[in-house]
Structure 1
Amino acid sequence: MTAVFPFSAIVGQTEMKQALILAAIDPAIGGVLAFGDRGAGKSTAVRALAALLPPIMAVAHCPYNCAPGACALGCGRADVAVETPTPVVDLPLGATEDRVVGALDLERALTKGEKAFEPGLLARAHRGFLYIDEVNLLEDHLVDLLLDVAASGENVVEREGLSVRHPARFVLVGSGNPEEGELRPQLLDRFGLSVEVSTPRELKERIEVVRRRDAFERDRVAFLSDWAEAEAELRARIVAARGRLGGVEAGDAALEKAARLCIALGADGLRGELTMLRAARALAAFEGDKSVTDAHLREVAPAALRHRLRRDPLDEAGSTVRVARAVDEILAA
């Protein structure tokens, strides 16, 4: 396996790293969209997260990574559970529909005359992460497929005499440069958190980014060894937060403030409140707190709400500034 840059060694980009960690703690948050400058570390962070995540238990030989006792099609050894890395699957922009959703296994059809299903990228991503770089350039027909699967949690394939339905629940992670095009509103709304990524402006921070990347490229084994302890500690915190998540309380006061924020900002639908609640609860679990506080809501509000705002022709401020103003008013210290 090719060595990847350690997640803990990434300099700056605090909001992006936090969003990815929260999505790893609670996949129900709905995924992460990272938009910003080219070369600012978006892909590096996603691939680093893949190496950081703790493994999962899955049915042996199951192409869907199903949990023991819940094999989708009875395709694996249900009596044998194996430890496997959390799947993090790349969806290339040029991928065909067959590669994404799966199709007829031509080899078996030609050699054995059998109709068998060859799972696609959505099957591989089940119980893990599906990563799309330059997501704003994704072809419309693939966007439609992702919307259907994201809504149902299942991939349905009806073609070439095949009728297959299998689970496809994953955390959707997208990255891109807004200068190259906007994301379709329907897909944008499916991302739980949206973070802004920019090139570091501070001299010391830029120097440290280059220093660490150069050290990694020159001697990867030594660099990974230097950061192994920090990676292990962060992995342990994520695992512990997952265990605490169900016990974190979000009282009526927190719910009311989340709703007031969304009303004040004119956010469409109710996904804003739900995402804020889940993200704040995951952050509380990560920090070892027993209940959601205003501080948790304040910290996750920009990522949960900035991409859900309507354009206001009378307000030239960006969405991040508008969220900050509403937070200062409603969550005043």
Structure 2
Amino acid sequence: MSETMTVESRPVFPFTAIVGQEEMKLALILNVIDPKIGGVMVMGDRGTGKSTTVRALSDLLPDMQIVANDPFNSDPTDPELMSEEVRKKFQNGEALETATKQIPMIDLPLGATEDRVCGTIDIEKALTEGVKAFEPGLLASANRGILYVDEVNLLDDHLVDVLLDSAASGWNTVEREGISISHPARFILVGSGNPEEGELRPQLLDRFGMHAEIGTVKEPDLRVQIVEQRAAFDENPLDFRKNYTDSQQALRQKIVDARQLLKQTNVEYDFRVKISQICSELNVDGLRGDIVTNRAAKALAAFEGRTEVTAQDIFRVIPLCLRHRLRKDPLETIDSGDKVRDIFKKIFS
């Protein structure tokens, strides 16, 4: 990302400068490598850097090719990622003017209305001029990017349903007065929240691919380092960012390479059986847990430049993929992540 762009927009704290919170950082990176993992729910105490880390991710994202002046960030080569208008031009063999932009990161404000999120149809224009006049919403802007919802557990359940449906199907449909408009809405959904303010309903939580739990850093040395870094960034953001230019570029390149390598990455059959055994033993409902664990393990192997998934890869990602899918037992004292690790050790021993 050019420094001029950083000056024009608000300077973002560099991702590689963030101390600790390895679990959250890993979950976010794996979702960028393979968006089909299904997003991340980040739960943790206030002031633990949830929002800072998610926003820092946007700075790492590579550029993407889009059709110029298209509000849906349509892909110029993949019909699945095109709006209806662009797809018609593509199928008719018309030349598509292209442009490059950074993968978008869209913030969804807590007070957003459904119209603001999904978009609206101008009925008057549709009736008087006979055209489908659509005003795109946040889901259109987030297509092929990241949609971030801070305090997702305080968001209206109906809106959470809409977001999760779009994230799962990859499409957003707006219907009004007999007029229906659909557009691609493939985005990585990232939610964050504080458990003290209430948990998400289990059926909504299950729809997030991964669940990262973060706590306040306890080590005094690390706390001092975090405070000093934040003070240095607040005092002179551009100078602070320059110190991390090389590490940011290296990580960005590693993500780009991993996305290419992902297609060749493989989980051997025996490991796939063991993943399903773990899910079965933990009484995980449905097959989402199996699918996400396989995808996340492949993304981690690709991130580390390998085409074969190891047992260690699975051990690192499986608590993130399963802990929020376990049935809650109020009398249980063991942490859900530790419970997943215990069953892993038993089956992989």
Quick check: 1:41 aligned with 2:54?
A: no
1:52-201 equivalences in 2 (<5 Å)? 52-69=60-77, 70=79, 71-74=82-85, 79-105=96-122, 116-160=133-177, 162-201=179-218
Aligned AA for 1:136? Answer: N
Residue identity over aligned pairs, in percent, reads 54
Partner residue, 1:9: 17
TM-superposition CA deviations, 1:198-225 (whole Å, max 9, x none): 1100011101111111111111111110
How far did residue 149 of structure 1 move?
1.7
Q: Indicate which of 196, 205, 208 corresponds to 2:225.
A: 208
User: Contact 2:167–2:188 (CA<8 Å) still a contact in 1?
Assistant: no
* AA aligned opposite 2:133: A
Shift of 1:78: 5.6
Contact 2:39–2:208 (8 Å) recurs in 1: yes
Q: Indicate how the Cα distance of structure 1 residues 276 and 219 shifts in structure 2: closer, same or farther if over 3 A, else same.
A: same
Aligned to 1:240: 257
Distance 1:110 1:263, change over 3 A: closer
Instruction: Compute the displacement of 1:312 (Å).
Output: 3.2
SS of structure 2 residue aligned to 1:84: strand
State how far apart, in whole Å, the 2-side matches of 1:78 and 1:180 are: 51
1:266 aligns with 283
2:6 is equivalent to residue 31 of structure 1:
no
- CA RMSD, aligned part only? 2.0
- 1:300-319 equivalent positions in 2, closer than 5 A: 300-312=317-329, 315-319=332-336
Residues 318 and 104 from structure 1, CA distance in 2 versus in 1: closer, same or farther, beyond 3 angstroms?
same
Letter paired with 1:92: P
The aligned runs of 1:289-300 (5 Å cut-off) are 289-300=306-317
Q: 1:172 to 1:41 in 2, by over 3 A?
A: same
Q: 1:104, CA displacement in angstroms? A: 2.7
1:107 Cα deviation from its structure 2 partner: 10
| Matched letter for residue 18 of structure 1 | L
Q: Distance in 2 between matches of 1:219 and 1:154?
A: 41
Extract unaligned runs of 5+ from structure 2: 1-8
Mean CA deviation greater in 25-34 or 69-78: 69-78
What TM-score does the superposition give when structure 1 sets the normalisation length?
0.95
Amino acid at match of 1:63: P
1:19 is displaced (CA, Å) by: 0.5
Instruction: State yes or no: 1:19 paired with 2:27.
Output: yes
- Say which is worse superposed, 311-320 or 200-209, in terms of deviation: 311-320
CA distance in 1, matches of 2:192, 2:95: 36
Offset from partner CA, 1:166-215 (integer Å, 9 cap, x none): 11111110000011011022221111110101110001110111111111
Q: Alpha-carbon deviation of 1:256?
A: 1.1
State the distance in 1 between where 2:163 and 2:25 align: 24
TM-aligned CA deviation for residue 321 of structure 1: 2.1
Distance in 2 of aligned mates of 1:38 and 1:313: 24
- State the alpha-carbon separation in 1 of the partners of residues 126 and 263 from structure 2: 47
Task: Return closer, same or farther for 1:306/1:116 CA change in 2, 3 Å cut-off.
Answer: same
Taking structure 2 as the reference length, the TM-score comes to 0.90
SS of the aligned residue for 2:42 comes to strand
User: How many Å apart are 1:144 and its aligned residue?
Assistant: 2.3
Letter in 2 for 1:74: E
- In structure 1, the residue matched to 2:58 is 50
Q: Give the match's secondary structure for 1:273.
A: helix
Using the alignment, how far apart are the partners of 2:300 and 2:109 within structure 1?
31
Shift in alpha-carbon separation, 1:108–1:301, aligned structure 2, 3 A: same
| 1:282 maps to 2:299 | yes
Q: Deviations over 1:9-39 (max 9, x none)?
A: 0000001001000000000111011001111
Per mean C-alpha deviation after superposition, the further-off stretch among 160-169 and 230-239 is 160-169
On the 8 A contact 1:59/1:78 being kept in 2, the answer is no
Q: CA deviation at 1:331?
A: 2.5
Task: Assess, with a 3 A threshold, how the Cα gap between structure 1 residues 9 and 107 changes in structure 2: closer, same or farther.
Answer: farther
Secondary structure of 2:85's partner?
coil
Distance, in Å, in 2 between the alignment partners of 1:291 and 1:89 is 34
Distance between the aligned counterparts of 2:273 and 2:153, measured in 1?
Answer: 34
Shift of the alpha carbon at 1:145?
A: 1.3
